[in-house]
Amino acid sequence: MLWSLSRSPEGAQARRIKETMREKTMKRPGWDEYFMEITRLVARRSTCLRRHVGAVLVKDKNILATGYNGAPTGVAHCLDVGCLRERLSVLPGERHELCRGLHAEQNAIIQAAKHGTNINGATLYCTTMPCIICSKMLINAGICRIVYEQGYPDRLAEEMIDDAGIEMVNFGAVESRERLDP
């Protein structure tokens, strides 16, 4: 009885329906999509009033360290004391030293160093393209690939990353193309 059902047209149709359902509900994300989703979650920990940024350092498909933007450990958060950059009307991409917080990329590098984790040859996943300060740190840390979601107004950072031979992937653009052309 079981054998005849599996060979019957009804059994074949049931298998096709089951396979179609599995494909629609169980689509596994690719590695970049997977790590970018984690990066978005990390960004939710940010204490910055202007922009929530998350960063994840990955090597051999393993997470090495994470970071989000905010004030140093033990120092009052901008959420509590206000934004110095807002008070001074500092534009994005300018005067990075006028900020209480560290960038997400900086915090990820610091976390890796604090725990003795080698990040040479790693990929950085970040919700925002790194600024010039973070770019220089990433270059010297040996990061070989940067996957980011949103651009950032820092042409010098782009040029230096390119000069260093680091692969840059605008995941936001890739994701948009995939939605338009499945």
Catalytic residue among 86, 105, 149, 178: 105
Q: Is 23 a catalytic residue?
A: no
Please work out, in degrees rounded to the nearest 5, the angle formed at the alpha carbon of residue 123 by the alpha carbons of 118 and 126.
115
> Tokens 């940010």 correspond to what residue?
46
> Tokens 């920990």 correspond to what residue?
45
Distance between CA atoms of residues 12 and 4, nearest Å: 11
Please give the torsion angle defined by the CA atoms of residues 37, 40, 44 and 45, in that order, rounded to the nearest 10 degrees: 90
Count of C-beta atoms within a 10 Å radius of residue 162: 11
Residues with active-site annotation: 105
